[in-house]
Every structure is written in C-alpha cells, then in structure tokens.
Amino acid sequence: MTDSKMRDRYAEAGVDIEAGKRFVETIKPIITKTFRSNVMSDIGGFAGLYSINLGTIKKPVLVSSTDGVGTKLKIAFMLDKHDTIGIDLVAMCVNDIIVPGAIPLLFLDYLSMGKLNHDTAVEIVKGISRGCKEAKCALIGGETAEMPGFYAQNEYDLAGFATGIVDADQIIDGSEIAIGHRLIGVGSSGLHSNGYSLVRRIFFDGLKMSVDDYVDEFGRTLGEELLEPTKIYVKIISYLTKNFQIFGISHITGGGITENLPRILPTNCQAVISRSSWTQQPIFHFIKKAGKITEDEMLRNFNNGIGLIIVVAEKDVQDVVEQIQAMGEITYQIGWIEERGPNSALRFID
C-alpha cells in the first residue's frame, strides 16, 4: 500500500495527518513569540530544548506543575469562544510553581480533539501563547492529538505542564511563618478555573439560564462572566521575592482558602482570616444565593475574590501592599498568624 493510500485510509478513520501538518505550520509564528534566547529547538521536533542560564542562582532547583482547565471548557464550547481558555491553562500551572518562589521557564501543552478543527485549535494556542508571554515563560512544545469517537462533536480537552527554577536557599516553603506575620490577599479575576461543575449545575440546570443572558449584577452576559480568564500572578511574585522577605505563598485554587492556606502553615501556627476584610465580586454573591450555599461551603469551593495569599512580616505590610497596587492589582489585608491551639490551622472571623 502506498503512503498516500495509507494516509487516505487513516483520514477515513478520522485522523487527518496533513491537516495536522498545516496546523503546526500555522501556529509556529504564534508560539515562537514566546521564545527567549534560552530556547534551542524549533517547533515540530520530538522534544523541546531549553538552555538554563543560572545567572545568580547558585543551587538550582527545578519546580514543575501540571493542570487542566476542568469543566470551564464547557463554557468555551457553549460560546464557541476559544481564545482565552489557553490563558486559564497557563495560569493554573504557573500560579502553582510560583508558590515556592520559582520563576517560570517553559511550558508544554496537550490538546486533544475528536477531529482537528484548525480554526478552534489556532485560537486555543493563541490563548496559551498570551498566557506564556504574561508569565514570561517559553511555550517550547506540545502535542495535538486527534481521537475520533472519543469526544463529543466540537469538544476537546487541554492539559498544561510548566517548569520553573528557584535557588535552593530561596525556596519559600512556609516553614519560617511565625506568630505575628500578616496575610495579604491579592484579588482574583472571578471564578478562575475552579468550581465549574457546581456553577454549571446552578446556572444551567437550576436556573435554566443561557450563556447569552445578560446579568445586571455582572454588567455583562453570563457567558462573559464565566469565561473571564484566570489571573496570572507571576509578575507580582517575581518582584516581591526580589525586594522583600516573603514567608509563605498560597495559591487559592480548588478547595478555596479553607483547604489551601493551611497547606503552608507550620504546626504551631493558626491563620486568622477576617471575612469582611475584602470585597467579593458579584458572581460569588449570586452563586451563594441562587445555589443556597452556606458560607463554609463557599469558602471551601471557591476563591471568593482572593486568588493568592502572601505571608509577610508586619513591618513590610504597607510597602508590599503599595507595590502590588502599583502593578495594577487589588490587595487586601485579610488576617494574621497567631499561635495554634487545639483547634484547626484556620479560623475565620467576621
């Protein structure tokens, strides 16, 4: 059987090799915009090559994370809008690797579809590229897979993989968090990429709403609100770790403050959080009321307007807040660290 006939038979089975080649050629200039001088390979090879310039890093430690976007993808499918979901993908990975103080270096993506839709796939990669440029990491490779019969029509899945670097002597692991330290919350952009299974159940199954419905409280349509990209915090942490002593960082993702903040606390420390110290976006009030969700459940399932918590010394609070605000971000002084008693590592107050 000739190569052309073999390709035709594979295409008949739902996998178009030639379409895949055309897609790679289309996205090359999009991806290369994220490259730094460290990138030693081109798109299309078997692996991506990245030369590590250690600079002032004496004891280099690589930090890695992998994640997806979850059922937020369903909102992109419903709106047929795919140019921002890649930002979410990058954010969910790089926001984790900055927790120990790492600087993102490179990113890889995995995109799988039943049948390759060239235009949709290009829009997805554009979003990933935008996220990588914001996170200052290079998109050095990835995988695009056609899996006929595996996904519903016009649906796909995404996964991302990020690698960063930190000096072993500069790792932020929370071990030096002490009584009297203060907690600074950095505002989220909304739901980010967590809780969407519950959100979809409330809005679409319970309230029978459409993504095109305009919601006065949001000032835009439901779909626009739900597809708001996850905020990327790389720039903030990169600056703060160079100019202040940061004792702990918590990415408020799945599990909310309730599950994520205790992960970085020493056994003798309890975090006290004032629930009235920050302003939540209307989406959270709407979800709570419409879904009849308790305050405890909200705090366990959503970020509730706080995407990142930073632990600093009391003397640095004002300077840190001012520097973050100068970068255009919203910050709140949301609590402090006290001695842990027989209760849990976290205590909420009004």
pLDDT of residue 204: 97
Q: Residues of CATH 3.30.1330.10 domain(s) within the chain?
A: 3-169
Q: Is residue 323 pLDDT above 70, yes or no?
A: yes
pLDDT, tens digit, 9 for 90 and up, residues 200-221: 999 999 999 999 999 999 999 9
Residue 124 has, within 13 A of its CA and on its CB side, a CA count of 28
pLDDT, tens digit, 9 for 90 and up, residues 227-247: 999 999 999 999 999 999 999
pLDDT of residue 14: 63
Q: Residue 238: CB partners within 8 Å, gap ≥ 6?
A: 98, 103, 136
Query: By the 8 A CB rule, do 47 and 41 touch?
Result: yes
Q: How confident is the model at residue 343 (pLDDT cuts 50, 70, 90)?
A: confident
pLDDT, tens digit, 9 for 90 and up, residues 161-214: 999 999 999 999 999 999 999 999 999 999 999 999 999 999 999 999 999 999
3-169: what fold?
60s Ribosomal Protein L30; Chain: A; (3.30.1330)
Burial class of residue 301 (count of CB atoms within 10 Å of its CB; 0-12, 13-18, 19+): buried
Q: Cα separation of 329 and 75, whole Å? A: 26
182-349: what fold?
Phosphoribosyl-aminoimidazole Synthetase; Chain A, domain 2 (3.90.650)
Q: In what order do the strands lie in the sheet with 138-146?
A: 60-68, 156-167, 103-113, 138-146
Relative orientation angle of helices 234-243 and 118-135, to the nearest 10 degrees: 10
Q: Is residue 23 pLDDT above 60, yes or no?
A: yes
Q: Residues of CATH 3.90.650.10 domain(s) within the chain?
A: 182-349
